[in-house]
A = this chain, B = another copy of it.
Amino acid sequence: MLEPTPLDERKQQILKAVVSDYTVTGMPVGSQVLAAKYFIALSSATIRNELADLVGTGYLQQPHTSAGRIPTDRGYRYFVDFLMEAEAASPTIRRTVKQEFESAPRSVDGILEKAAMVLSLVTENVSLVTAPEVSESRIKHIDLVSLEPQSVLIILVLEGNLIKQQVVHLERATIQEDLSRMAAMLNQKVKGQTADELSGRLDQLGPDRAEQRRIIERLIDSITTHQAQRQTVVLHDGVRNLLRHPEFVEVGRLEELMELLEQGAQLASILQQVEFDKDVEIVIGRENTSSGLRECSLVLTTYKMADRVRGTIGVIGPTRMHYGQVVARVRLVSHATSDVLAHLGN
């Protein structure tokens, strides 16, 4: 790691100008362009000296000797930490987001899918949305349906009308009538608790017939363990947007990335590693642990439901992206999602 060279005001401005220009043109930025577009008071020679320094300290690089400069990952990092200006999302964008969410179905799944779709639409990148952890969600309703004599379908209605199902095999045959009675009882005891909480409170169940109690224990056990081992689902949308970015003209880049997206497990663990120091977290290029993301950046934030942080939402795009704008739009969609989820009832 290079020593943390503090940058004087002018170097900062030049770095900022390079990043800004490069993100829109996609071409290495030369000293003359900088002098003409951003620093009319300075000559190109002066800027050349500064640029050479910025290359020396690792904030910029040259693709080849006679080319302009482009930011390094370190340069982008400095930019997003200290130089980036907040950009409010445009009214047009706001309207789009609002309209799209109005047509969203009234279920958590539907809303998150819509969020992924909208986010990829407004950022022109790939969007990522993690579904809430089921084990942390409050249970609103339980239903038990007899499938075969010894097999029961458990239906959990969680807050936000999220429905989870699982099939459990019992040791002995149980008829629907008994199941319905147990379900009624469970609904009274269990309402408003999370699956996590449930596991500790078996003793609170009233003293029923031992046989029924055994079955209920079996069901609850099944609910808690089943939910625990289920891994986080990661939705994504907008791969088509990525194809338009010039950095992906050679499909080699894309291949590793697609693999990551299509087998959500690895992606989930990457997202879980991100620590949220601020409201929006940015991971740049090689800061990513995964090799498929070496030339990409993540812009992530969280969304809430029932006043608790429930999942991650963000985008994945080329390192050369318009960070200020993307941050604003990710934030916008995150808030919109939280809002819609809040109105879903609980």
Interface residues of A (CB under 8 A from B): 106-107, 140-141, 143, 145, 147-148, 151, 153, 155, 157, 161, 163, 165, 167, 180, 184, 237-240, 243-244, 248-251, 254-255, 258-259, 262, 345
Which residues of the other chain, B, contact A345 by a CB distance below 8 angstroms?
147-148, 151
**Cβ-defined contact, A239 with B251, below 8 A:** no
**Cβ-defined contact, B165 with A147, below 8 A:** no
Q: Within the oligomer, what is the number of copies of this chain?
A: 2
- When C-beta atoms are compared, the residue in chain B nearest to A230 turns out to be B105
**Cβ-defined contact, B153 with A155, below 8 A:** no
A245 to B70, CA, bound (A): 32
The minimal Cβ–Cβ distance linking A83 to chain B, given in whole angstroms, is 32
Q: Can you identify 11 A-B contacts, CB atoms within 8 angstroms?
A: A106-B167, A141-B153, A143-B143, A145-B157, A147-B161, A147-B345, A155-B163, A243-B251, A243-B254, A244-B255, A251-B254
Which of B157, B165, B251 interacts with A249 by CB under 8 Å?
A: B251
Which residues of the other chain, B, contact A184 by a CB distance below 8 angstroms?
180
Which residues of the other chain, B, contact A163 by a CB distance below 8 angstroms?
155, 163, 165
Query: Beyond A140-B145, A238-B262, A239-B262: 8 further Cβ-contacts under 8 Å?
Result: A106-B167, A147-B161, A148-B345, A155-B155, A161-B165, A239-B239, A240-B255, A240-B262
The minimal Cβ–Cβ distance linking A187 to chain B, given in whole angstroms, is 9
Which residues of the other chain, B, contact A107 by a CB distance below 8 angstroms?
165, 167
- When C-beta atoms are compared, the residue in chain B nearest to A262 turns out to be B240
